[in-house]
């Protein structure tokens, strides 16, 4: 069949099983958009900014388990995708970004809207391509999808020149033969001796702790992980992105580790004699000072990417490969163990935790972010999908919104991208239209991508938006309070009337300033048939506790000071 390069792009997307894409048209990719109407089986979503479209595709990928696809034109269209590409790269999200390039004969001449997008994105993609020949479009896109979803997932960019989109292939047929790439080995199998060595360390450990990361979810190893943990009764500490890989209310789940993790979790890690790192990369926000990190612990690292093993923390056993398959081999070699003594030690470490006091205190008329998120968790179902922006509200969500099921929390971990929450929620809703979807955002990050409220209106979907509005760039303000003598330089901010902003987009807007109002607003938003934006006016100078200062040991935490209970005065 005679096919243009633009048609071949759509043919390949159909063959890859893609049903939803997020893209923005422009001069250089008009041939692709001209061919789009011939492929009604693919739903195209028009964001209001390419970055938003990239985050939508990211949220779609995280929730659906499929490869996310985002498109943009040349020049600014491609560069606007860069933040979304870097976000996906840091969190190992399988995505294919298709950008357009100026006509091949103009490359290198500073043509209108010409940008070297492959050069720009080389450090933040798993791989990228520049396609100048129509014959190369199909094999390149097939490779791109294979690379994106195999091994350690990640984003791949394919930049296609306009003339390649317009050219034709006379006798085009789709090639569905197996892809084999020279020099690319995504599958690893650890030696049996390493498996046995790991089992021996586990069986001899007295104070082990599992560090459960994003790899548990990406490897779809939740059931194998649960079987392993329960058989050996090993307490589980979660990374931010690992949440959902192990039920929050499981007796072995200690909670989140790291900079804003639970104090007893960080202390347990420091006192452990064995750390089992499952699909996590020992990020600095997890370890604190490496010089003092779990000095007395042996370490086992299960990781699909060999470059991550021994990169930040030296380990005793590295098991490189698919975590689902590795756990299936390790678990039969592990002995049953109650670990009653070690679990009692950790239970004693919990004690009275000030970070939870805010939720339990009598209502003094003040609304804290913790109240909002606690009420949200109480009122919604356990399979509700929640996305977040980045900042204090992200950490409060991690602490208070107990994640019980896999792939129900979507957040930017590695890059920490403000503006991620709203568009990723749109992608999540389109991936799972029958699920309830909320996004918890700050007043700062929300305004970076608030234009995507129009995308919600155009797509006629229901996504509820909870704005934790404290009038500051909250996390930056917290650092200024703790480490810069309260020099609040450029962190106080004014915002539009979010209720009117919602209404301007054809959505419903609500506002809450007390705990009682918050409860009513959440319930009203759930019952309303369309999308609702809620402006939660919370305490302005509240901080996230505990906090491990940058460069400090993991157990050197700043804890919440005593909370003063204010009794409302009678009028």
**HEC per residue, 502-529:** HHHCCCEEEEECCHHHHHHHHHHHHHCC
Q: Which of 1, 105, 112, 168 is catalytic?
A: 112
pLDDT digit string (tens) for 360-372?
666 778 899 999 9
Active site residue 222: no
Residue (of 183, 176, 166) closest to 145 by Cα position: 176
Q: Which of 15, 113, 166, 556 is catalytic?
A: 113
Q: Which of 50, 308, 375, 404 is catalytic?
A: 50
Residue (of 400, 401, 464) closest to 429 by Cα position: 464
Percent of the chain predicted with pLDDT > 70: 96
Q: Which of 256, 418, 475, 557 is catalytic?
A: 475
d(CA 129, CA 48): 26
Domains of the chain: 3-169 (3.40.50.970), 192-351 (3.40.50.1220), 359-537 (3.40.50.970)
Active site residue 243: no
Q: What is the pLDDT of residue 176?
A: 92
For residues 478-482, average pLDDT: 94
- Secondary structure class of 424 (helix, strand, coil): helix
Q: What is the chain's length?
A: 571
Q: Note whether 505 and 451 are within 8 A (CB).
A: no
For residues 386-412, average pLDDT: 97
Residue 565 has pLDDT above 70, yes or no: no
d(CA 510, CA 517): 10
Query: Please, which residues have CB within 8 angstroms of residue 197's CB and are 6 or more apart in sequence?
Result: 317
Q: Note whether 558 and 547 are within 8 A (CB).
A: yes
Residue (of 282, 268, 285) closest to 313 by Cα position: 282
For residues 115-119, average pLDDT: 97
Residue 358 has pLDDT above 80, yes or no: no
Q: What is the pLDDT of residue 1?
A: 86
DSSP 258-293: STTS-HHHHHHHHH-SEEEEES----HHHHS-GGGT
Residue 351 has pLDDT above 90, yes or no: no
Tokens standing for residue 161: 């020149």
Omega prior to 359 cis, within 30 of 0 = no
Active site residue 50: yes
For residues 44-71, average pLDDT: 98
For residues 527-550, average pLDDT: 95
Q: What is the pLDDT of residue 566?
A: 44
Structure confidence at residue 306 as a pLDDT band (50, 70, 90): very high
d(CA 29, CA 77): 10
What mean pLDDT value characterizes the chain? 95
Q: Which of 3, 66, 149, 162 is catalytic?
A: 162
pTM for the full model? 0.95
Q: Note whether 330 and 197 are within 8 A (CB).
A: no
pLDDT digit string (tens) for 162-198?
999 999 999 999 999 999 999 998 999 999 999 999 9
Structure confidence at residue 349 as a pLDDT band (50, 70, 90): confident
Q: What is the rounded radius of gyration, in angstroms, for the C-alpha atoms of the chain? A: 25
What are the DSSP E strand ranges found in 416-555?
A: 437-442, 464-469, 508-512, 532-537
Residue 356 has pLDDT above 60, yes or no: no
């Amino acid at each position: 069949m005679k096919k243009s390069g633009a048609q071949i792009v759509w043919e390949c997307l159909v063959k890859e099983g893609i049903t939803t894409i997020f893209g923005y048209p422009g001069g250089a990719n008009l041939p692709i958009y001209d061919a789009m109407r011939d492929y009604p089986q693919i739903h195209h979503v028009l964001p209001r900014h390419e970055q938003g479209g990239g985050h939508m595709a990211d949220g779609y990928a995280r929730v659906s388990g499929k490869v996310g696809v985002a498109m943009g034109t040349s020049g600014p269209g491609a560069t606007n995708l860069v933040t979304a590409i870097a976000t996906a790269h840091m969190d190992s999200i399988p995505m294919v970004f298709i950008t357009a390039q100026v006509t091949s004969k103009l490359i290198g001449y500073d043509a209108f809207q010409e940008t070297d997008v492959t050069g720009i994105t080389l450090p933040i993609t798993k791989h990228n391509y520049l396609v100048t020949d129509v014959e190369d479009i199909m094999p390149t896109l097939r490779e791109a999808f294979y690379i994106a979803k195999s091994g350690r997932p990640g984003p791949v960019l394919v930049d296609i020149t306009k003339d390649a989109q317009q050219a034709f292939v006379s006798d085009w047929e789709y090639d569905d033969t197996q892809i084999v790439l020279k020099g690319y080995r995504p599958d690893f199998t650890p030696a049996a001796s390493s498996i046995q060595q790991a089992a021996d360390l586990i069986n001899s450990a007295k104070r082990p702790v599992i560090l459960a990361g994003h790899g548990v979810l990406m490897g779809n190893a939740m059931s194998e992980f649960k079987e392993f943990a329960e058989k050996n009764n090993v307490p589980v500490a979660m990374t931010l992105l690992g949440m959902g890989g192990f039920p929050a209310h499981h007796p072995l789940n200690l909670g989140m580790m790291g900079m804003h993790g639970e104090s007893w979790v960080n202390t347990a890690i420091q006192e452990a004699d064995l750390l089992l790192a499952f699909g996590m990369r020992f990020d600095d926000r997890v370890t604190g000072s490496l010089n003092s990190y779990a000095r007395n612990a042996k370490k086992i690292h299960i990781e699909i990417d060999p470059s991550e093993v021994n990169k930040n923390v030296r380990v005793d056993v590295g098991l490189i490969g698919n975590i689902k398959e590795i756990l299936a081999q390790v678990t039969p070699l592990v002995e049953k163990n109650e670990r009653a003594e070690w679990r009692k030690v950790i239970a004693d470490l919990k004690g009275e935790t000030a970070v939870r006091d805010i939720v339990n205190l009598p209502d003094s008329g003040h609304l804290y972010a913790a109240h909002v998120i606690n009420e949200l968790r109480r009122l919604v179902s356990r399979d509700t999908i929640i996305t977040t922006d980045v900042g204090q509200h992200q950490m409060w969500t991690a602490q208070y919104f107990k994640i019980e099921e896999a792939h129900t929390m979507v957040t930017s971990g590695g890059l920490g991208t403000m503006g991620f929450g709203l568009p990723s929620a749109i992608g999540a809703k389109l991936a799972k239209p029958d699920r309830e979807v909320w996004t918890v955002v700050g007043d700062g990050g929300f305004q970076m991508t608030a234009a995507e409220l129009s995308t919600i209106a155009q797509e006629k979907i229901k996504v509820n938006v909870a704005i934790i509005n404290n009038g500051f760039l909250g996390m930056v303000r917290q650092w200024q309070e703790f480490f810069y003598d309260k020099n609040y330089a450029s962190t106080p901010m004014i915002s539009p009337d979010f209720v009117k902003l919602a209404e301007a987009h054809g959505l419903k807007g609500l506002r809450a300033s007390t705990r009682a109002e918050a409860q009513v607003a959440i319930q009203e938003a759930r019952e309303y048939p369309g999308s609702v934006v809620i402006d939660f006016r919370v305490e302005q100078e509240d901080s996230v506790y505990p906090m491990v200062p940058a460069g400090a040991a993991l157990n050197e935490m700043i804890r919440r000071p005593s909370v003063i209970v204010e009794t409302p005065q009678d009028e």
